[in-house]
Amino acid sequence: MGRIVAGVGTSHVPAIGVAVDLGKTQEPYWKPLFDGYEPAREWLSKVEPDVVILVYNDHGTAFSLEVIPTFAIGVAREFPPADEGWGPRPVPIVKGHPELAWHMAESLILDEFDITIVNEMSVDHGLTVPLSIACGEPKEWPFPVIPLAVNVVQYPPPTGRRCFDLGRSIRKAVDAYDEDLKVVIFGTGGMSHQLHGERAGVINKDFDQRFLNDLTQDPQRLVELPHIEYVREAGAEGIEMVMWLIMRGALGDDITEVYQNYHVPASNTAAGLIILENNS
C-alpha cells in the first residue's frame, strides 16, 4: 500500500533557483532565506520518500495558450528541465515514476477527476525550484517525482475546493497502490506577489501568514476562499496558492505542523515554506 506521509508547501520564485545555480546563496540578500530552508532539507533527508508528487504550475514552458489543461499528470520516465526567462536550469533531469503515475491517472479519472495525461513534458522553475529548495544541489534528485501541473496562469483556474478535493482523490489513489511506497506531496507556488501593472510588488504578510497557519488550524476557511480574494489580498499571482490546497487535501484531518518559515522579500514575492506530517 502507498502512504502519503507528509505534505510540503513552498514558493517557487525563479530567482531562488538562479541564486542556487550561480552560487549566491551565502550572499547577504539570500543567506537569511536559505538559512530558513536548512531544517526542511534535514527533515526531508531523514524521511527519505520513495516518491514525491509535486503539484506546481507551468509558466508557458511545456504548455502555452494553445493548450491549457486545468490539471495534468506527467507519466513519463523523465522530464527535462526547461524555462522561459533565464532558460533551462543546470539541474539534474527529473526522473518520473510511470507506474504510480499511471495508477493515479486511472484512479483519479475513475473517481471523476478527468486529469490530462502527459507522456512528454519539460518542467520549468515551478517544479525545479521547489526541488532545489528541498534538496540543495545533488548530482541526481534523491527520489522520483510525479509532476502534477495546475493551470493558474490563464483565467479560469480551478477553485480552492476543487483543488482540495483533488488532493483527497490523490490520497485515495496512493492508498490503493499495491506496492509499499512512502510518498510526500508538495504544493507549490505563491505566496503573495504580483509581477505586472499598478500593483506590481504587492506583498501581504498578514494574508500569507494566516494562510500558512490555517493550513493546520482551519483548512475549511481556505477551501472557501474565492479567487477574487487571493487576487485582491495577495496580488494577481497570489492565485498560485490554490495549489497548496491540493497538498492539504491529500493529508488527513490529523496532522502535525513540523516546520514553518516565512521570508520577505525573495525577488518580487513573499517566500513561504511549511511541512505537515500526516498522522492518519
Which residues are part of the catalytic machinery? 125, 193
Query: Which of 4, 6, 13, 51 is close enough to bind ligand DHB by CB under 6 A?
Result: 13
Distance (Å, rounded) from C-alpha 235 to C-alpha 269? Answer: 10
Closer residue to ligand DHB in complex, CB, 171/193: 193
| Beta strands at 71-74 and 145-150: parallel, antiparallel or unpaired | antiparallel
Q: Compute CA distances 221 → 217, 230, 235, 251, whole Å.
A: 9, 13, 19, 16
Take residue 223 and report the three cell numbers written for it: 477551501
- Choices 10-18, 41-49, 166-174, 213-221 (CB under 6 A): range interacting with ligand DHB: 10-18
CB 12 within 8 A of CB 125: yes
Burial bucket for residue 230 (CB in 10 Å: 0-12, 13-18, 19+)? buried
CB 73 within 8 A of CB 118: yes
Provide the residue count of the chain.
280
Interaction between residue 263 and ligand DHB (CB under 6 A):
no
CB of 100 to ligand DHB, least distance (A): 27
Query: Which of 10, 25, 151, 269 is close enough to bind ligand DHB by CB under 6 A?
Result: 269
Quote the DSSP letter at residue 272: E
CB of 75 to ligand DHB, least distance (A): 25
Closer residue to ligand DHB in complex, CB, 59/248: 59
Interaction between residue 193 and ligand DHB (CB under 6 A):
yes
CB 57 within 8 A of CB 189: yes
Q: Compute CA distances 149 → 44, 45, 275, whole Å.
A: 22, 25, 20
* Number of residues counted as binding ligand DHB (CB under 6 A): 11
Q: Between residue 233 and residue 262, which ones bind ligand DHB under the rule CB under 6 A?
A: 237
In degrees rounded to 5, what are phi and psi of residue 174?
-65, -40
Interaction between residue 187 and ligand DHB (CB under 6 A):
no
- Choices 7-15, 25-33, 91-99, 214-222 (CB under 6 A): range interacting with ligand DHB: 7-15
CB of 125 to ligand DHB, least distance (A): 6
String of contacts with ligand DHB for each residue 136-175, x by CB under 6 A: ----------------------------------------
Query: Which of 14, 147, 167, 272 is close enough to bind ligand DHB by CB under 6 A?
Result: 14
3-state SS, residue 173: helix
Q: Between residue 35 and residue 94, which ones bind ligand DHB under the rule CB under 6 A?
A: 59
Site residues for ligand DHB per CB under 6 A: 12-15, 59, 193, 195, 237, 267-269
